[in-house]
């Protein structure tokens, strides 16, 4: 059975006609609202001083003055939606009330359906205003999540979730996104919302680590007027703002334990209670939670409620860190280069062979976010025809991350694990030192843009030594396979 349209809302009816007032009160109570009534400005002021209201139905002409006086005085606070009631001849007064902040007006007499429609519009307006406070800084949400080959199974899992969502329609179960910082959990939450059946409804985003513990309950569930010292008016929370849509709670592990229990109750019962309130408010908001911590470990160490973890764990999405995505790193880099270059109004440039190796061998502790920052840095500051990602020179390698040889660099021909990778051990089959030296020379040349002098300085050898190593072999005699009339020992510097 669906909840009543106005369930959990508080409404004040201000009208001096007893029969009409009782009729309106009865109609609102049938719709599930909690209703108080007043027959004068003075009575309305007393009610407003004692409690906050979600909506006020206000007659223009009252025995002790005009209802618009209450709007001028801001008697009901900024959070209450005021709907003005007026006779046909009082349209001018209704227009003035709209200018003073009323959200709608109803000409008397009106049907209960018109009243319900007006309050429903007002409720959506309050949701939109609350959602605006949490709108993402970007002009449009970033929905361009790059899956690639490595995240193909994850994509298939998301498709199954979307299929189940369309079957269920309402009261959708929560989704849990797990992954290191920067792996794209926020972007994936937006993608899931926009691809699902609630794409036309609000998406509210909240970073739980950025909400002070003392305000977290009020932020999530709202508060009534006078609930605490600074609660000068009632305010809806993020659950109500997301009603019908999606509430994304990033870094959910940051919520204090007592609030985790209230969050669990809200998810299981689809109802919330504002701070300082006495009424349960039905809310159908799909919760997507994200964490960069291992929640099972958080549960074991007493920092996260086990029952909440199991409730969130029905739809679990684990996003691989960037260092584990193999060749997709370079594909993702090309993808980001196009987008970032367009945003910066600069030409998109290819990645140099040395730049490819740096991208593939770096550990990426900041994952996709860090990659995007490095790409933007390279696009803005590097002036070469190709992007070399020079800021990554000397950075810590991935663990493990085999280097990807460029077209100008001889591949690893040592018949075993790549000696550039972390934890290399010499293979039992042996190791080619000559191949390794040649590969080092090419790596140095790639890093210096094929400048032989700079490469020689990087390697601590002479230019002639590099030229000798890079020269093609020429056969002049049976014993002279190097073809330069001298042996390597004569040209190489001491210690080589």
pLDDT tens-digit series, residues 342-366:
988 899 999 999 999 999 888 899 9
**Helix axes of 463-470 and 452-459: crossing angle, nearest 10 degrees:** 110
pLDDT in tens, 12-37: 999 999 998 898 899 888 888 889 99
Q: What number is the average pLDDT over the span 203-208?
A: 92
334: pLDDT strictly greater than 90: yes
Contact residues for 229 (Cβ-Cβ < 8 A; gap 6+):
none
Q: What is the CATH number of the domain that holds 336?
A: 1.10.8.60
Indicate if 313 and 400 belong to the same structural domain.
no
The confidence band for 48, taking pLDDT boundaries of 50, 70 and 90, is confident
With a pLDDT cut of 70, the percent of the chain lying above it is 82
407: pLDDT strictly greater than 50: no
Sheet holding 34-38: strands in order across?
A: 34-38, 10-14, 55-59, 81-86, 104-107
Domain membership of residue 5 (yes or no) is: no
* CA distance linking residue 262 with residue 267, whole number of Å: 9
* CA distance linking residue 20 with residue 18, whole number of Å: 6
For residue 179, the model assigns a pLDDT of 94
**Domain boundary, last residue among 129, 144, 167:** 129
Domain membership of residue 3 (yes or no) is: no
Rg (CA), the chain: 34
Q: What number is the average pLDDT over the span 447-454?
A: 84
Task: List the one residue out of 79, 82, 13, 73 whose CA is nearest residue 223.
Answer: 79
The confidence band for 216, taking pLDDT boundaries of 50, 70 and 90, is very high
* CA distance linking residue 92 with residue 364, whole number of Å: 65
For residue 403, the model assigns a pLDDT of 39
Indicate if 58 and 189 belong to the same structural domain.
no
Phi, psi torsion values for 209, nearest 5 degrees:
-70, -20
How many H-runs (helices) and E-runs (strands) does the chain carry?
Answer: 19, 14
Indicate if 25 and 107 belong to the same structural domain.
yes
Indicate if 226 and 254 belong to the same structural domain.
yes
Indicate if 366 and 413 belong to the same structural domain.
no
Domain membership of residue 136 (yes or no) is: no
Q: What is the CATH number of the domain that holds 121?
A: 3.40.50.2300
Indicate if 173 and 315 belong to the same structural domain.
yes
For residue 53, the model assigns a pLDDT of 85
Q: Between 179 and 435, whose confidence is greater?
A: 179
pLDDT in tens, 104-156: 888 887 887 788 888 877 777 777 766 666 554 333 445 578 888 889 899 99
Indicate if 303 and 348 belong to the same structural domain.
no
Domain membership of residue 159 (yes or no) is: yes
Domain membership of residue 147 (yes or no) is: no
The confidence band for 2, taking pLDDT boundaries of 50, 70 and 90, is low
Task: List the one residue out of 45, 37, 48 whose CA is nearest residue 14.
Answer: 37
| DSSP state at residue 108 | S
Read off the pTM: 0.64
Written as six digits, the tokens of 432 are 């080619």
Indicate if 396 and 370 belong to the same structural domain.
yes
Indicate if 27 and 43 belong to the same structural domain.
yes
For residue 81, the model assigns a pLDDT of 86
pLDDT in tens, 248-300: 999 999 999 999 999 999 999 999 999 988 888 899 999 999 999 999 999 99
* Average pLDDT along the chain: 82
* CA distance linking residue 400 with residue 403, whole number of Å: 10
Q: What number is the average pLDDT over the span 368-396?
A: 87
Domain membership of residue 283 (yes or no) is: yes
Q: What number is the average pLDDT over the span 152-175?
A: 91
473: pLDDT strictly greater than 70: no
For residue 142, the model assigns a pLDDT of 53
Q: What number is the average pLDDT over the span 367-372?
A: 93
For residue 140, the model assigns a pLDDT of 43
* CA distance linking residue 58 with residue 294, whole number of Å: 53
**Domain boundary, last residue among 320, 336, 360:** 320
Q: What is the CATH number of the domain that holds 258?
A: 3.40.50.300
Indicate if 339 and 284 belong to the same structural domain.
no
For residue 63, the model assigns a pLDDT of 92
Indicate if 163 and 289 belong to the same structural domain.
yes
Domain membership of residue 118 (yes or no) is: yes
Domain membership of residue 146 (yes or no) is: no
244: pLDDT strictly greater than 50: yes
Indicate if 417 and 397 belong to the same structural domain.
no
Q: Between 394 and 163, whose confidence is greater?
A: 163
Alpha-carbon distances of 237 from 26, 119, 285, 465, rounded to whole Å: 28, 18, 12, 72
**Domain boundary, last residue among 320, 336, 353:** 320
420: pLDDT strictly greater than 80: no
Phi, psi torsion values for 362, nearest 5 degrees:
-80, 150
For residue 399, the model assigns a pLDDT of 47
Contact residues for 131 (Cβ-Cβ < 8 A; gap 6+):
202, 204, 241, 242
307: pLDDT strictly greater than 90: yes
The confidence band for 246, taking pLDDT boundaries of 50, 70 and 90, is very high
Q: What number is the average pLDDT over the span 431-459?
A: 83
Q: Between 430 and 251, whose confidence is greater?
A: 251
Q: Between 8 and 326, whose confidence is greater?
A: 326
Domain residues for 379? 327-404
445: pLDDT strictly greater than 90: no
- A 10 A CB-CB count for 2 gives 8
Q: What is the CATH number of the domain that holds 415?
A: 1.10.10
With a pLDDT cut of 90, the percent of the chain lying above it is 38
* CA distance linking residue 345 with residue 29, whole number of Å: 58
Q: What is the domain count for the chain? A: 4
């Amino acid at each position: 059975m669906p909840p009543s349209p106005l369930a959990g809302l508080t409404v004040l009816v201000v009208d001096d006609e007893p029969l009409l007032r009782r009729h309106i009160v009865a109609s609102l109570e049938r719709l599930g609202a909690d209703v108080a009534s007043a027959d004068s400005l003075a009575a309305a002021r007393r009610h407003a001083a004692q409690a906050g209201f979600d909506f006020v139905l206000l007659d223009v002409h009252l025995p002790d003055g005009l209802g618009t006086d209450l709007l001028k005085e801001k008697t009901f606070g900024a959070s209450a939606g005021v709907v003005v009631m007026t006779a046909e001849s009082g349209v001018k007064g209704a227009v003035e009330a709209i200018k003073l902040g009323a959200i709608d007006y109803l000409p008397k007499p009106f049907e209960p359906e018109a009243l319900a429609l007006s309050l429903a519009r007002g409720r959506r307006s309050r949701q939109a205003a609350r959602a605006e406070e949490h709108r993402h800084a970007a002009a449009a949400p970033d929905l361009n999540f790059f899956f690639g080959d490595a995240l193909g199974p994850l994509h298939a899992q998301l498709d199954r979730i979307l299929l189940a969502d369309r079957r269920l329609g309402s009261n959708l179960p929560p989704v849990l996104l797990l992954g290191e910082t920067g792996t794209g959990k926020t972007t994936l939450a937006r993608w899931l919302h926009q691809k699902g059946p609630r794409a036309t409804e609000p998406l509210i985003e909240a970073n739980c680590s950025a909400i002070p513990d003392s305000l977290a309950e009020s932020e999530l569930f709202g508060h009534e007027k006078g609930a605490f010292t600074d609660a000068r008016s009632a305010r809806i929370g993020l659950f109500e703002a997301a009603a019908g849509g999606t509430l994304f709670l990033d870094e959910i592990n940051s919520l204090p334990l007592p609030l985790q229990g209230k969050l669990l109750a809200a998810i299981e019962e689809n109802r919330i209670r504002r701070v300082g309130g006495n009424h349960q408010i039905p809310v159908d908001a799909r919760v997507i939670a994200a964490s960069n911590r291992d929640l099972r470990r958080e549960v074991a160490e007493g920092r996260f409620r086990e029952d909440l973890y199991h409730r969130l764990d029905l739809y679990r999405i684990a996003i691989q860190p960037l260092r584990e995505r193999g060749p997709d790193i370079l594909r993702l880099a090309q993808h980001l280069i196009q987008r970032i270059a367009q945003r910066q109004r600069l030409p998109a440039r290819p990645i140099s062979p040395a730049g490819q190796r740096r991208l593939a061998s770096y550990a990426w502790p900041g994952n996709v976010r860090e990659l995007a920052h490095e790409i933007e840095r390279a696009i803005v500051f590097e002036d070469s025809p190709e992007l070399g990602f020079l800021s990554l020179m000397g950075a810590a390698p991935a663990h493990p991350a085999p280097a990807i040889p460029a077209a100008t660099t001889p591949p690893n021909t040592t018949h075993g694990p790549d000696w550039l990778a972390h934890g290399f051990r010499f293979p039992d089959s042996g190791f080619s030192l000559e191949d390794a030296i040649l590969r080092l020379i090419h790596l140095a040349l790639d890093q210096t843009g094929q400048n032989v002098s700079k490469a020689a300085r990087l390697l601590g050898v002479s230019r002639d030594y590099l030229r000798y190593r890079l020269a093609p072999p020429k056969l002049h005699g049976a014993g002279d396979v190097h073809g330069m009339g001298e042996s390597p020992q004569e040209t190489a510097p001491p210690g080589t």
